[in-house]
């Protein structure tokens, strides 16, 4: 976890403010389920939001945040126990959510997941294609073919599959917003992250192409590119034998070195609020871009 700074094209990277936004601006959806959430109001009242990879981390925080703003949230992930727990947490808070087990590496499961969310809630207004993995730092020539395929099939092929099955639903009902969770590794990397960086760079191009193809259909496609965020994904780098407290200290030390601006990692909730902002009509003219939200990580040399 070294510093690894690099110049970043200002034309492609746009810092986002995530507060004080109003109105969802995505097409309405009439569904039988989720009445309570819609009744409570909020920026996403009456909207259906689909999230891949919401059993933990940024996706989980986004599911909670969208539901708190009135959305009906359909989400997936492979770990059923965690999925059910997130679903229960949202419902206990008066929100509406449905967990559907799906592995984004499997075309049949992604197609079924998207279709079930649409059937359950009567449409699809916002998709946050977020599922992703990271592997322990490994030089490119030592990455196994299996590791490479696992990262690529989750972090870029899984995004392609989600877009493939989401876009026809959105075109069919006149529009929507598609977000993809990219990474600051779309713009710069560090040693040991070759497979992850290659997949995340792929996100930039896929988002651009999908944005151009779908702008005439009133569908925006945008990548949220988080910097270092304190989620369980980082645990792949946890050295053996550290206590939880030591690992927290190690992450804080690394963040202080690596994030030149705020000198800390983001909280998952800060990425969730950025996602809610990007999906809102405050960003109605935004499409095809990758929006860096990194606390100044890439601003420093």
Decide whether 46 or 186 has the Cβ nearer to ligand NAP: 186
Q: How far is CA 189 from CA 57, 195, 227, 291, in A?
A: 21, 11, 11, 16
Radius of gyration for the alpha carbons in the chain, expressed in angstroms and rounded:
18
Question: Two tokens at 216?
Answer: 């005439």
In terms of phi and psi (left: phi > 0; alpha: psi -120 to 50; beta: otherwise), the region of 123 is: left
Please name which of 55, 49, 62, 58 lies closest in space to residue 78, comparing C-alpha atoms.
55
d(CA 17, CA 116): 33
Stretch that binds ligand NAP, among 9-17, 127-135, 237-245, 250-258 (CB under 6 A): 127-135
Q: Which of 26, 42, 50, 56 forms a contact with ligand NAP (CB under 6 A)?
A: 56
Q: Measured from the CB of residue 206, what is the shortest distance to ligand NAP in angstroms?
A: 13
Nearer to ligand NAP, 46 or 290 (CB): 290
| CA 43 – CA 49 distance, rounded (Å) | 12
CB of 99 to ligand NAP, least distance (A): 10
**Considering the rule CB under 6 A, would residue 295 count as an interface residue with ligand NAP?**
no
Subset of 14-33 contacting ligand NAP (CB under 6 A): none
Binding residue for ligand NAP (CB under 6 A) from 6, 36, 79, 253?
79
Nearer to ligand NAP, 171 or 237 (CB): 237
Q: 290 — phi, psi (to 5°)?
A: -110, 115
CA distance 298 to 301: 8
In the region spanning residues 150 to 169, those forming contacts with ligand NAP, defined by CB under 6 A, are 154
User: Is 226 near ligand NAP (CB under 6 A)?
Assistant: yes
> Can you tell me which of 26, 65, 104, 255 binds ligand NAP, judged by CB under 6 A?
104
Candidates 43, 47, 72, 105: give the one binding ligand NAP (CB under 6 A). 105
State which of residues 40, 78, 173, 263 lies at the interface with ligand NAP (CB under 6 A): 78
Q: Which residues touch 149 (CB under 8 Å, ≥6 apart)?
A: none
Closest C-alpha among 204, 159, 271 to residue 12: 204
> Any catalytic annotation for residue 196?
yes
Site residues (CB under 6 A) for ligand NAP? Answer: 52-59, 76-79, 82, 103-105, 130-133, 154, 181, 183, 226, 228-229, 231-234
Known catalytic residues?
196
């Amino acid at each position: 976890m070294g510093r690894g700074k690099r110049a970043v094209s200002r034309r492609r990277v746009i810092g986002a403010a995530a507060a004080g936004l109003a109105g969802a601006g995505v097409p309405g959806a009439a569904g039988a389920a989720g009445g309570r959430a819609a009744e409570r109001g909020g920026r996403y009242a009456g909207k259906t939001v689909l999230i891949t990879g919401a059993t933990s981390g940024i996706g989980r925080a986004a599911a909670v945040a969208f539901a708190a703003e009135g959305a009906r949230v359909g989400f997936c992930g492979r770990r059923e126990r965690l999925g059910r727990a997130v679903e229960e947490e949202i419902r206990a808070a008066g929100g509406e959510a449905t967990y559907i087990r799906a592995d984004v590496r499997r075309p049949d499961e992604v197609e079924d997941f998207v279709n079930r969310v649409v059937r359950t809630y009567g449409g699809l207004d916002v998709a946050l294609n977020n599922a992703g993995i990271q592997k322990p730092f490994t030089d490119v020539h030592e990455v196994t073919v299996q590791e490479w395929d696992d990262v690529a099939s989750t972090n870029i092929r899984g995004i392609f599959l989600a877009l493939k099955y989401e876009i026809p639903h959105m075109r069919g009902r006149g529009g929507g917003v598609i977000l993809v969770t990219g990474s600051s590794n779309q713009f710069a990397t560090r040693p040991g992250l070759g497979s992850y960086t290659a997949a995340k760079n792929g996100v930039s191009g896929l988002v651009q192409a999908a944005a151009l193809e779908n702008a005439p259909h009133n569908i925006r496609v945008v990548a949220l590119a988080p910097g270092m965020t304190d989620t369980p994904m980082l645990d792949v780098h946890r050295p053996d034998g550290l206590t939880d407290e030591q690992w927290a200290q190690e992450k804080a030390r690394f963040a202080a070195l690596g994030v030149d601006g705020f000198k800390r990692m983001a909280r998952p909730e800060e990425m969730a609020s950025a996602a809610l902002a990007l999906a809102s009509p405050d960003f109605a003219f935004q499409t095809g871009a990758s929006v860096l939200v990194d606390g100044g990580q890439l601003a420093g040399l």
